[in-house]
């Protein structure tokens, strides 16, 4: 039995944040009923066609769900939603600000009608405050949260290569729902969870935020190198690039002794502490590159491993698909879609996650409506 079997989640969701949160609930065994617009459904279905004609984002975040098409601008659609919510343990929504409240699904009304219901609302800026009604997309929150200001090169800000603001909000929604389910088990009462993408990213930005404490300069943009720890980043070899990181003085001494073969460098006052190395990184980079740039990558990696210095290959997506560690730990499964089976990763920490199909739009409408005593609208 999976941990959330017997829990029903109704989700008014689109894009990434809410679907990622609810997919993780489904991974743990929850029944997730995804309410979509009739016809095209969740607009994330049309982001691209990279997975046998299906959208990459959608395939990732929507397995193991039931898709129900409801016209929430009609009375029948709203009534169906009322009946679904009445039977649910959790309601998740990330629609436009105020959209659910206009349909009568605001937090106060739901708490009165369904005191055991857990309501999780995900938005860009939160359910109150001066920015409540602002539209928010992942890249916009990356900018608003200061993430872009510390990511990139000195000459150019760069966004994250994945939807980091959506993912952050989805993770906090997921963990808050789990905590609320535990709380409800003790008290019998539900909870209103208000997750904003801005607050999720602000939490994740707390290292650079504190680094800039009390008006101090914020971390500079340093490309793939760490902004405040050095050496920590990519370095050229004779035939490629290797990325490694020095985390403490013991590792720095070992690096000088066993990789650079320059044991006296460790005590040089210009480089003897991390702060000194970071301040004088340009001079240190010249010394490191002068040594590593004459050696093939395989030799550099062997020396780093021997010195117990953490290092990594700068992999492409094709390398991740075939990563030996994921294969050795048997992390890959198959998930069915309307376009055939596709590989999918088990969620981190889980070995028996639910891995059911990715639904087609409205696939489960008739069955789910029959459960609540309603029929689907006639086809046009």
Average pLDDT over residues 333-362: 97
User: Any idea what DSSP says for residue 125?
Assistant: S
Cα gap 359→50, rounded to integer Å: 17
CA 241 to chain CA mean position, Å: 27
Average pLDDT over residues 318-344: 97
Average pLDDT over residues 57-70: 98
pLDDT of residue 338: 96
The pLDDT tens digits of the residues spanning 223-257 come to 999 999 999 999 999 999 999 999 999 999 999 99
pLDDT of residue 64: 98
Average pLDDT over residues 140-167: 97
Average pLDDT over residues 120-139: 95
* In contact, 126 and 198? CB cutoff 8 Å: yes
Q: What 3-state DSSP class applies to 312?
A: strand
Per domain, the residue ranges of the chain are 8-205+328-371, 232-315
pLDDT of residue 292: 97
Residues sharing a CB contact under 8 Å with residue 225, sequence separation 6 or more, in sequence order: 231, 232, 233, 234, 281
Please, what is the Cα angle at 2 between 69 and 194, to 5 degrees? 55
* In contact, 292 and 231? CB cutoff 8 Å: no
Whether pLDDT at 118 is above 90: yes
User: Any idea what DSSP says for residue 376?
Assistant: P
Selected catalytic residue, list 166, 194, 257, 356 = 166
CATH entry, 8-205+328-371, from 3.40.50.1100, 3.40.50.10540, 1.25.40.340, 3.30.70.270: 3.40.50.10540
pLDDT of residue 378: 75
Least confident span in 53-57, 125-129, 374-378 = 374-378
pLDDT of residue 97: 87
Whether pLDDT at 379 is above 90: no
And the tokens for 343?
């590989």
Maximum Cα–Cα distance for the chain, whole Å?
82
Nearest to 197 by CA among 127, 297, 258: 127
Same fold, 8-205+328-371 and 232-315: no
CA 165 to chain CA mean position, Å: 7
Q: Provide, rounded to the nearest whole percent, the portion of the chain with pLDDT above 90.
A: 97
Whether pLDDT at 137 is above 70: yes
305 tagged catalytic: no
Q: Provide, rounded to the nearest whole percent, the portion of the chain with pLDDT above 70.
A: 100
Architecture of domain 232-315: 2-Layer Sandwich (3.30)
Cα gap 309→260, rounded to integer Å: 12
| Residue 380 binned pLDDT confidence (cut-offs 50, 70, 90) | low
pLDDT of residue 189: 98
Q: What is the mean pLDDT of the chain?
A: 96
């Amino acid at each position: 039995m999976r941990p959330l079997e017997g829990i029903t989640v109704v989700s008014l969701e689109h894009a990434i944040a809410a679907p990622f949160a609810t997919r993780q609930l489904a991974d743990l065994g929850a029944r997730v009923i995804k309410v979509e617009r009739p016809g095209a459904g969740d607009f994330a279905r049309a982001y691209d066609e990279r997975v046998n004609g299906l959208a990459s984002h959608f395939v990732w975040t929507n397995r193991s769900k039931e898709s129900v098409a409801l016209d929430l601008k009609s009375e029948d659609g709203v009534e169906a939603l009322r009946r679904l919510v009445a039977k649910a343990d959790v309601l998740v929504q990330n629609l436009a600000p105020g959209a659910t409240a206009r349909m009568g699904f605001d937090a106060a009304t739901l708490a009165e009608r369904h005191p055991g219901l857990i309501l999780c609302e995900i938005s860009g800026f939160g359910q109150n405050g001066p920015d409540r009604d602002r539209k928010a997309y992942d890249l916009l929150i990356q900018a608003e949260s200061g993430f872009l200001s510390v990511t990139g090169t000195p000459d150019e800000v760069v966004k994250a290569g994945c939807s980091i603001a959506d993912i952050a909000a989805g993770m906090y929604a997921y963990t808050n729902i789990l905590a609320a389910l535990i709380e409800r088990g003790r008290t019998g009462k539900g909870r209103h969870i208000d997750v904003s993408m801005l607050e999720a990213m602000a939490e994740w930005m707390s290292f650079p935020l504190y680094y800039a404490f009390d008006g101090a300069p914020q971390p500079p943009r340093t490309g793939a190198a760490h902004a405040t720890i050095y050496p920590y980043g990519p370095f050229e070899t004779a035939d490629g690039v290797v990325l490694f990181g020095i985390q403490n003085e013991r590792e720095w001494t070992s690096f000088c002794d066993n990789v650079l073969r320059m044991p006296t460098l460790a005590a040089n006052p210009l480089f003897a502490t991390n702060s000194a190395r970071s301040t004088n990184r340009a001079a240190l980079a010249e010394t490191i590159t002068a040594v590593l740039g004459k050696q093939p990558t395989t030799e550099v990696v062997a020396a780093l491993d021997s010195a117990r210095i953490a290092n990594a290959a700068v992999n492409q997506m094709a390398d991740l698909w075939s990563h030996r560690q994921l294969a050795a730990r048997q992390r890959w499964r198959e998930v069915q879609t309307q376009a055939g089976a596709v590989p999918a990763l088990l969620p981190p920490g889980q070995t028996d996650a639910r891995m059911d199909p990715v639904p087609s739009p409205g696939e489960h409408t008739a069955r789910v409506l029959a459960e609540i005593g309603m029929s689907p609208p006639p086809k046009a």
